[in-house]
Amino acid sequence: MKECHHVTKLNSTEDEKKAGPECLQCEEECTKPRPSGCPHRCVLPCHPGDCPSCLQMLKIKCHCKLSILYIECLKLTCADLKEKELLTSCKNQCPKELPCGHRCKEICHSGSCPQNCSQKVKLRCLCKRLKKEIQCSQIKEGQVSLECDALCKEMKRKASEIKEAEAKAAVEEEKRRQQAELEAFENRLKGRRKNKRRKDEVEVEQSSWQKYKNLIMLPMFGVAVVMVAWLMVYND
């Protein structure tokens, strides 16, 4: 920044391009290119030679986006692809869900989850008696099936026979119940008819007496009066 001035020549041939003690020191920031992936500036002002290693911390999310990681910039920028994969992993189980509905078993990773689910699931036969544990991916691909054995078929046949016998017994019981209800209804109906017949006979008897009692009672009353008079006359 000074005007043209005298500069003391240095003895070393390597220092011919360097400024002498009479020149001002450069106070500009270091503008040298940074390592690939490093977003930080050099911590030194304008200087000769290489920049010092960047020791600042990077704040990044892991592959599954659930955890925040703090990593030295130098470690991340100097790492290869495999090392970067490990550095940016939170080391927890991947929270993503596979198409089959199970959780991914891999540790926090980049990219898509593996489609071969290793979760153990229970496979049963049609009658649910036999069971077997196999990998979920094998069921999805249709590689494994569990058929009923001879014992399953025999048990199924016996269960069917028992069910048919119970159904038949239920039908018979319903028939008996209906028959009993019918007989009870007929007995009640017969009893009502008998009571009605007796009532009609009593009413007929009462009505005949009411009809002829005057004709019977008047002559008897007259006879009684005559006999009383004759007794009175005879005693006198």
Q: Are residues 103 and 27 in the same domain?
A: yes
Flag whether 48 is in a domain: yes
> For 145-163, what is each residue's pLDDT tens digit?
778 888 888 888 888 889 9
Q: Are residues 108 and 27 in the same domain?
A: yes
> For 185-199, what is each residue's pLDDT tens digit?
888 887 766 666 666
The 3-state DSSP composition of the chain as helix, strand, coil percent (nearest 5) reads 45, 10, 45
Q: How far apart are CA 22 and CA 53, in angstroms?
A: 31
Q: Are residues 36 and 52 in the same domain?
A: yes
Q: Are residues 125 and 163 in the same domain?
A: no
**SS3 (DSSP) at 86:** helix
Q: Are residues 62 and 87 in the same domain?
A: yes
> For 49-87, what is each residue's pLDDT tens digit?
889 989 899 999 999 989 999 999 989 888 888 999 999
Residues 6+ apart with CB under 8 A from 131: 122, 123, 124, 125, 146
Flag whether 232 is in a domain: no
- The total number of structural domains in the chain stands at 3
Q: Are residues 108 and 166 in the same domain?
A: no
The domain in which residue 70 lies consists of 22-112
What pLDDT was estimated at residue 69?
Answer: 93
Q: Are residues 83 and 141 in the same domain?
A: no
Flag whether 98 is in a domain: yes
For 29, 32, 55, 161, 194, the CA distances from 43, given in Å and listed in that order, are 9, 11, 10, 90, 124
Flag whether 75 is in a domain: yes
Q: How far apart are CA 138 and CA 132, in angstroms?
A: 12
> For 100-132, what is each residue's pLDDT tens digit?
888 998 999 998 988 888 888 888 887 878 888
Flag whether 218 is in a domain: no
What pLDDT was estimated at residue 172?
Answer: 92
Structure-token match 């005559």, residue found: 226
CA dihedral 25, 30, 31, 32 (to 10 degrees): 110
